């Protein structure tokens, strides 16, 4: 059984890992087997938005493209929040059009993302990557249909143990993002927190991949 890495900026580090590699439209690498693609709120270039969206839309038709993103809203970056909102909405609507889930980057804007989802009547799954917040926020996001992905902060912040334990098994993923630690290390701690074996954890995430990405990672 494979480890599934929900969000990373590098290629799989072992033969038994399937990595969902984050790609940017202007730096697209066609050799990457499974990827997401989107405009990150940090890297919005206003005069390039239209051309970036054309590239993204073309890639969303590709079976190797499993998701839109990462994209989202970030109140702690210098990019105009109104511009972020416009770009985010365009990406959400494209994801909805092509039935692709969205890997969400969110900093201090969870309520705005939920409001946008509801206002635009977005039905495809949203996966908040790098989750590091409270039980209360986790429950609110899950109640609104979202999925949560854990990685760096799970390894570095012991206070997240109780949050992670509270997440229903059918609503989470694991990731490495930009950290050096392996996805296997994240699985090891996550399995410990859940009180299950790594094999049981792989089965849970395999089933979640089937639900969200419509793929069987054991036959990928």
Question: In this predicted structure, what is the pLDDT of residue 112?
Answer: 98
Give every CB contact of residue 165 below 8 A, 6+ residues apart in sequence.
193, 194
DSSP state of 77: S
**Coil, helix or strand at residue 12:** coil
**Coil, helix or strand at residue 108:** coil
For residues 111 and 138, what is the distance between their CA atoms, to the nearest angstrom? 12
Residue 114: name the closest of 88, 134, 151, 80 by CA: 88
Question: In this predicted structure, what is the pLDDT of residue 219?
Answer: 82
Q: How many structural domains compose the chain? A: 1
pTM (predicted TM-score): 0.97
Separation in Å, CA 13 to CA 4, 65, 134, 219:
12, 19, 31, 19
Which residue range forms the structural domain that includes residue 171? 3-219
Question: In this predicted structure, what is the pLDDT of residue 122?
Answer: 98
What's the length of the chain?
220
Residues 44 and 84: beta-carbon distance below 8 Å:
yes
Low-confidence ranges of the chain (pLDDT < 50): none
List the CATH number of the domain containing 14: 3.20.20.140
DSSP characters for 14-73?
A: STTEEEEEEE-GGG--TT-SSEEE---GGG--GGGHHHHHHHHHHHHTSTTEEEEEEEEE
Residues 17 and 1: beta-carbon distance below 8 Å:
no
Question: In this predicted structure, what is the pLDDT of residue 218?
Answer: 87
Separation in Å, CA 162 to CA 15, 142, 166, 188:
32, 16, 6, 16
Supply 72's token pair: 């989202």
For residues 100 and 57, what is the distance between their CA atoms, to the nearest angstrom? 11
């Amino acid at each position: 059984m494979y480890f599934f890495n929900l969000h990373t900026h590098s290629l799989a580090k072992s033969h038994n890992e399937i990595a969902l590699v984050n790609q940017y439209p202007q730096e697209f690498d066609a050799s990457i087997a499974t990827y997401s693609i989107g405009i990150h709120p940090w890297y919005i270039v206003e005069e390039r938005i239209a051309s970036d969206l054309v590239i993204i839309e073309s890639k969303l038709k590709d079976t190797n493209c499993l998701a839109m993103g990462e994209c989202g809203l970030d109140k702690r970056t210098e990019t105009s929040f109104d511009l972020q909102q416009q770009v985010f909405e365009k990406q959400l609507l494209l994801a909805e059009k092509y039935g692709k889930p969205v890997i969400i980057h969110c900093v201090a804007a969870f309520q705005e993302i939920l409001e946008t989802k509801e206002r635009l009547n977005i039905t495809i799954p949203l996966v908040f990557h790098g989750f590091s917040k409270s039980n209360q926020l986790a429950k609110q996001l899950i109640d609104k249909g979202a999925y949560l992905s854990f990685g760096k902060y799970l390894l570095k912040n012991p206070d997240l143990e109780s949050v992670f334990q509270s997440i229903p098994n059918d609503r989470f993923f694991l990731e490495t993002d930009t950290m050096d630690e392996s996805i296997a290390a994240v699985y090891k701690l996550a399995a410990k927190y859940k009180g299950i074996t790594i094999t049981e954890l792989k089965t849970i995430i395999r089933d979640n991949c089937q639900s969200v990405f419509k793929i069987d990672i054991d036959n990928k």
